């Protein structure tokens, strides 16, 4: 599973407090750019309220930690 290490790195990097204060759209764009750099093509990133992620993996927090960005492989 080649994608797992990438997701682990993203989760560690993007869950830091410095990233939590970013606007969600800005952080989502940065995550999309990194995924595309690594050749990931079929995925979705959804912005949800903190704790509302049902499916997928939380890869970032934003809006001062009140929202999360969830990655789902399609």
pLDDT in tens, 31-74: 999 999 999 999 999 999 999 998 999 999 999 999 999 999 98
Q: Are residues 34 and 74 in contact, defined by beta-carbon separation less than 8 angstroms?
A: no
Q: Phi/psi of residue 54, each to 5°?
A: -95, -50
Q: What is the pTM of this model?
A: 0.72
Rounded CA-CA distance 54/71 in Å is 11
Dist CA 63 CA 41 (whole Å): 26
pLDDT at site 22: 83
Phi, psi of 26 (to 5 degrees): -65, -45
What's the pLDDT band for 9 if we cut at 50, 70, 90? Answer: low
Residue spans of the domains in the chain: they are 3-73
């Amino acid at each position: 599973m080649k994608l797992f290490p990438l997701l682990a790195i993203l989760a560690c990097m993007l869950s830091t407090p410095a990233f939590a204060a970013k606007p969600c759209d800005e952080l989502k764009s940065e995550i999309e750019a990194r995924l595309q750099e690594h050749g990931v093509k079929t995925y979705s990133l959804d912005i949800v309220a903190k704790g509302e992620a049902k499916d997928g993996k939380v890869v970032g927090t934003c809006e001062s930690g009140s929202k999360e960005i969830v990655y789902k492989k399609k």
